[in-house]
Amino acid sequence: MSKLRVALLQLNPVIHKLEENIHRADTILSKLPSNKPIDLLVLPEFAFTGYKFPDAQTLSPYLEKTSKPGPSISWAQETSQRLNCFTVLGYPESQGQTTFNSAIVINPNGEIIHNYNKSFLYDADDQFGASEGEGFKTFEINGIKASIGICMDLNPYKFKAPFNKFEFSSHCLENDVKLVICPMAWLHSKSPSINEELSKDEKLKLAGKFKAQIEEIKGEYQIDTNGDKIENFEELKEFEQLKEPDYNNLNYWLLRFFPFMNHMMKPYYYEDKATILFCNRSGVEDDVLFGGTSSIVQFLGTKGLVGYNSIDLTNKSVDVLGALGKGNEGLLYREVEL
């Protein structure tokens, strides 16, 4: 059985502050004890640029090409060489006249070994003119079959496909993927932007309150290396509990990997082990509140009667190896058996 030492770097990138965001990522990484080497480092979707760009013109200065790396890709290459690790990082990509929401994979030599273009686009992707990728793909990290899904890729296509089609997780199951990497800019379950009862001004006012709370803990990085699993949880009602995960989101992410979850409602069992890395951003942009909660999850192939209602982290075939808070920046580190 192989092991992989994984670090998820949860950031709150401030839009138009690319150099500042990169510096903060370096600061957070410097907090990891020297006796915790990294094999795989994962960062969120649009990790250093921020995400909610209103149009293509505003995003344009931050586009990068794999053939001519800009600040984001160059950082990933230098960091991979310095830490002797693989790095997965979300960034805005330009291919000729076409824009993609992409995630790049760099090996310990600083070489690009895989580049994935987001397949299922969210409203914000449409706003800044992103195009759909060619579909889900697989690649290998140290001989481990892997696949990348970026944020909306976890959802039904355009929210119009049947919920139980599970396009991305079914791709992973059918292709025997053992390591699933999900860079995300996923909203908090109570983001003002999705509250249809509020006016735009009310959404901005509420988002401002959330932003003020996040500012109060800025620099209090959550460095989680203790190896504790999450076994008992409460559904948290208030955003003020910034250092706790958003369990509504985490349970939804698990549900979107239902093909890997053993359950009485399924006609078949998953009998192997798969590891899912959810690396989400935190913070506020405009009226959008992001959900943090970067998590390392394993589907274990455990059988047994689990009940019709256990389709969340209480399911016996699911282990949540760790999760960061919804409002923090920080690092989640685990040694994962694959």
Q: How far apart are CA 323 and CA 333, in angstroms?
A: 10
Q: Which domain holds residue 158?
A: 3-337
Quick check: 184 and 265 in contact, CB under 8 A? Answer: no
Scored b (16 or more CB within 10 A) or e, 4-17 reads bebbbbbbbbbbee
282-296 confidence digits (pLDDT tens): 999 999 999 999 999
Give the pLDDT band (50/70/90) at residue 301.
confident
Distance CA 30, CA 229 (A): 24
* 77 contact partners, CB below 8 Å, separation of at least 6: 69, 87, 106, 110, 111, 112
Closest CA to 92 of 122, 123, 131: 131
Q: Which residues contact 68 (CB under 8 A, 6 or more apart)?
A: none
8 A C-beta contact, residue 47 and residue 72:
yes
Query: Looking at residue 115, what is its pLDDT?
Result: 98
Nearest to 282 by CA among 324, 234, 338, 322: 324
pLDDT digits (tens, 9 = 90+) for 69-95: 999 999 999 999 999 999 999 999 999
Q: In this predicted model, what pLDDT tens digit does every residue of 258-277 receive, in sequence order?
A: 999 988 777 788 989 999 99
pLDDT at position 305: 53
Rg (CA), the chain: 19
Contact 301, 272 (CB under 8 A): yes
Q: Report the 10 Å Cβ neighbour count for 216.
A: 10
Predicted TM-score of the model (pTM): 0.96
What CATH number should be reported for the domain holding residue 69?
Answer: 3.60.110.10
Summarize pLDDT for 125-167 with one digit per residue, the tens: 999 999 999 999 999 999 999 999 999 999 999 999 999 999 9
pLDDT tens track for 156-203: 999 999 999 999 999 999 999 999 999 999 999 889 999 999 999 999
The number of domains in the chain is 1
The answer to whether 5 touches 41, Cβ cutoff 8 Å, is no
Asked if pLDDT for residue 308 goes beyond 80, the answer is no
Mean pLDDT within 241-270? 89
Indicate the pLDDT class of residue 313, thresholds 50, 70 and 90. Answer: confident
